[in-house]
Amino acid sequence: MSVLVVTGTSTDVGKTVATAALAVNAVAAGLRVVVCKPVQTGVADSEPGDLQEIRRLAGDCVRLVELARYPEPLAPDTAARRSGRRPLDLDEVVGAVRRADGEYDLTLIEGAGGLLVRLGAGGFTLVDVAAALGAPALIVAAAGLGTLNHTALTVAALRSAEVACPGVIIGSWPAAPGVAERCNLDDLPEVTGVPVLGRIPAGSGALDAEDFAARAPEWLQVPLRTKRHAGGVSVVL
């Protein structure tokens, strides 16, 4: 009965693979996990999306919840408008997450694009979802040039909304990091004020489920601690 938001500094930084790794580690710790992707864009109704990739990597023991899908690879509110389909609203997302959270030990919410991408009606963003749920948000960031600025801006946006940020995960760490990547790894905690909680090797999303599950614990240092109480189990960051 805990919620953790997984956001990114931009699109294509590795949120889906990071979410799958978090799910794998939580399942290995004996937790019941549900992954919610409020909105998926750029995928047709009949095609597999990010949640199906998480299922492929994390296995059938993870429940999946998707609330809306739009075919064009655009920001969700723009994609909804252009498709003629109904946009999501904030209360709908918060209600779905709370229902899932009542049944599972850990609910992971994977965002779309960067933190301040508008998700639906009224221009609400993932910050609004996290704030409404009182949930912390992990940031998935790129490794190379630009990531210090992008990550610092994302942390600042979370803080301005009083959303806790436990740390940053580098979503695609190169096999042969250059000077920029190595310096960024050292500088991110000082620039952002939050720790780097893991590095996921580039190409990890291509692994099969067995290899992914075996390696995921090495990549992340996210302190998912369980706390048992009369109502069940909570996950404490």
**pLDDT at 236 exceeding the cut of 60:** no
pLDDT digits (tens, 9 = 90+) for 177-235: 999 999 999 999 999 999 999 999 999 999 999 999 999 999 998 766 555 555 555 55
- The domain ranges of the chain are 2-236
Please choose, from the candidates 89, 46, 47, the residue with its C-alpha nearest in 3D space to the C-alpha of residue 67.
89
Please state the pTM of the whole predicted model: 0.93
Q: What CATH number has the domain spanning 2-236?
A: 3.40.50.300
| Residues 181-202: b if buried by 16+ CB within 10 A, e if exposed | beebbeebeeebebebbbbbeb
pLDDT digits (tens, 9 = 90+) for 79-98: 999 999 999 999 999 999 99
Secondary structure letter of residue 204 according to DSSP: G
Question: Are 184 and 177 contacting, i.e. CB atoms less than 8 angstroms apart?
Answer: no
pLDDT digits (tens, 9 = 90+) for 125-143: 999 999 999 999 999 999 9
Give the mean model confidence (pLDDT) for residues 48-57: 95
Cα 151 from Cα 211, distance rounded (Å): 29
Beta-strand ranges (E) seen in 63-209 are: 63-70, 106-110, 137-141, 168-173, 196-201
Q: What is the pLDDT of residue 222?
A: 78
Question: Which residues does the annotation mark as catalytic?
Answer: 37
118: left (phi over 0), alpha (psi -120 to 50) or beta: beta
